[in-house]
Chain A
Amino acid sequence: MMDAAPARLDVARVRQDFPILATTVRGRPLVFLDSGASAQKPRAVIEAMTRCMETAYANVHRGAYRLSELATEAYEAARAAAQRFLGAEHAEEIVFTRNSTEAFNLVAHSFGRGLLQPGQAVLVSEMEHHANLVPWQMLRDAGLGIGLRFVRVTDAGELDLDDLARHLAQGDVGLVSVTHMSNVLGTVTPAAAIARMAHAAGARVMFDGSQAAVHRAVDVRAIGADFYAFTGHKLYGPTGIGVLYGRRELLSAMPPFLGGGDMIETVTLEHSSWAAPPARFEAGTPAIVEAVGLHAAIDYVTALGMEAIEAHERDLVEHASARLAQVKGLSLLGAPQDRGGVFAFALEGVHPHDLATFLDRRGVCVRAGRHCAEPLHARFGLEGGTARASFGLYTTREEIEALAEALDAAREFFA
């Protein structure tokens, strides 16, 4: 590992940290362009998890013996790492979840039922991942008198801030919950401005950082976020672990999400009282080994430097925008001013699933479909879906070239 953040990312060297990138697909090098769905894992993450299970594993917060203390220290050290990564003020503001989806369900349940009032509405946007839509639909349909409205997305694929202002002006919005970076359009939203607008209207604000936290440095205090969610497996960490940041005063005022061990203070047969956050929201044995893996992933990207990662990806986005524009018959979904490394596109005359199969035979992995964002595809009249290439810190210009050439070949094949 490097001990100081370099100005530039040494991508060739970084790629050696990811064992899977050395594998081949039918004799061709793997071109993995689906990191937006789930990223590959560096050796540091794999080894940290193995080491935890081989040398320091036991249940946490329970045993009065050395191994359990070691495991508890490792688990809480992961929380501190997530706290630093997001710039949170207190470690207790970090709740471990299974993934971002669970974080949204937690907030929809505990904030939605606990702190939102009848007559208030939740505001999401048209470009949300289903994880930041369906839990709010369930809350709206729970009979509590809580509404759900939608901020428009412009033709360029950006959040329509005028429309956001119009909704906020109605005075009934209790929570704005929007993405910090679209998993389809790549659009990076102006989070700090959105938070200011929401707060000025008396609303709280939550961001889906599943994509953004991977590609940009995030500071929840600079943004002014009340809640912020991201997931470990897209950040080069393991599956099964995600992070919910929540302001301490909000988490403290919220009722639990799931009930069980670890989240209680006292229990009698009839009643229980709740532990303080974050334990209140972490019922049952948590994902201990996965937390250790997430810690290693955070250390890994932090050592490389989020600014260096962002600079590398900005270079890739610029290159890909120009290169994909040369592919005949290709139309990109959206044209945001500020785009992270995600491109969804349609190729004239080739259905996305046929395209994905074709590309797969050349070792190029892309996602095809609606990317858990059906309403957004409907918004752009693409009910049949799109193909999506998404980048990671290990993505190279050569891989974008391989994609572009494969797209040309696909047009020729299916024409």
Chain B
Amino acid sequence: MSRKKDFSSPDMPLTPAVFYILLSLATKERHGYGIMKQVDLDSKGKVRLGPGTLYGAIKRLVDEKLVAEKESLSDERRRYYKLTDKGMRIFKTELTRFDEAVSLAKKRKLLESISLSTVVFI
């Protein structure tokens, strides 16, 4: 089965790379290098994107209209990327899924026995 997410069905989980890219764009628009640094920071170094992986993911997100491209006024060599309404909707669906999973884990007292840092995205 393909691991790639079909964004037309928002029930499928996002890959870690796509999740962190959307997370980095949820608060402000960024250029490619900015996204890379923010993903590294947000994931505490666990998700490191090379330029190949980053722009491969960006192309797919732009093609699927989850992310929009914007020319930079200050630096014409760079392009900025921002989340679209569809991108934000899918990102929020994913956050809700995490929230529900964490609530369920808390209710079953599972979070007391495991460290949060070892939680792996499913």
Q: Do A and B bind each other?
A: no
- Residues in chain A within 8 A of chain B (CB atoms): none
